[in-house]
Amino acid sequence: MIAFVSGPVAALAPDSAVVEVGGIGIAVQCTPNTLSGLRTGQQAKLATSLVVREDSLTLYGFADDDERQVFELLQTASGVGPRLAQSMLAVHTPDALRRAVATGDEKALTAVPGIGKKGAQKLLLDLKDRLGEPVGAPVIGAPVTSGWRDQLHAALIGLGYATREADEAVAAVAPQAEAAAGTPQVGALLKAALRTLNRAH
């Protein structure tokens, strides 16, 4: 089990980072929120979870141990693999997920791509009593709504785009974010922003 990786960030992509550990570049799958806190060339320490499959070894990275623990607990629910667990953490903080499960909030879970109404109901049953109580104070309103611009801007800067390009990309996806019912999904917005930047080049 690789509990964490620590070293300079060698490269950043929309859904992963490469951290140099002892001369070896280790690719780590991360949520946009985690990636937004990383900068190429700067030191980083990520809590990690290694997912072993017959044909692959995939390392998932997290900003802290709490996020990693929730990622692993989510996968104890039937039908939840690492990708879906990561999508859930891309949309909601660990505390927001704990609150959603504790209060039976189907709508919060259906905000995650790939989870429908039936899937949300099943997850609420499966995860009841597994995630524990929320740690932080309750957040009024959607947890990511107010900060999606900052998160998206930071993620684009972290990927090496200039401030002006990041500003333009955030402005370009703003109508999509505002049209989204509920919490804007930073992961989806990041993909849309990258598409607009690729067209601009």
Q: How many domains does the chain have?
A: 3
Q: What is the pLDDT of residue 144?
A: 41
Same structural domain, 22 and 73: no
Tokens of 62: 């997290």
Coil, strand or helix: which one is 190? helix
User: 3-state DSSP call for residue 25?
Assistant: strand
CATH assignment of the domain containing 88? 1.10.150.20
pLDDT given at position 30? 95
What tens digit of pLDDT does each residue of 95-106 get? 999 999 999 999
User: In 41-158, at which residue ranges do the beta strands (DSSP E only) sit?
Assistant: 43-53, 56-62
Whole-model pTM? Answer: 0.67
Q: Are residues 170 and 190 in the same domain?
A: yes
Q: Report the C-alpha dihedral over residues 93, 126, 76, 108, rounded to 10 degrees.
A: -20
* Domain boundaries, position 48: 4-62
Give the three-state DSSP class for 115.
Answer: coil
Single-letter amino acid, residue 25: G
Q: Are 10 and 57 within one domain?
A: yes
Measured CA to CA, the distance from residue 116 to residue 16 in angstroms comes to 26
54 domain residue, yes or no? yes
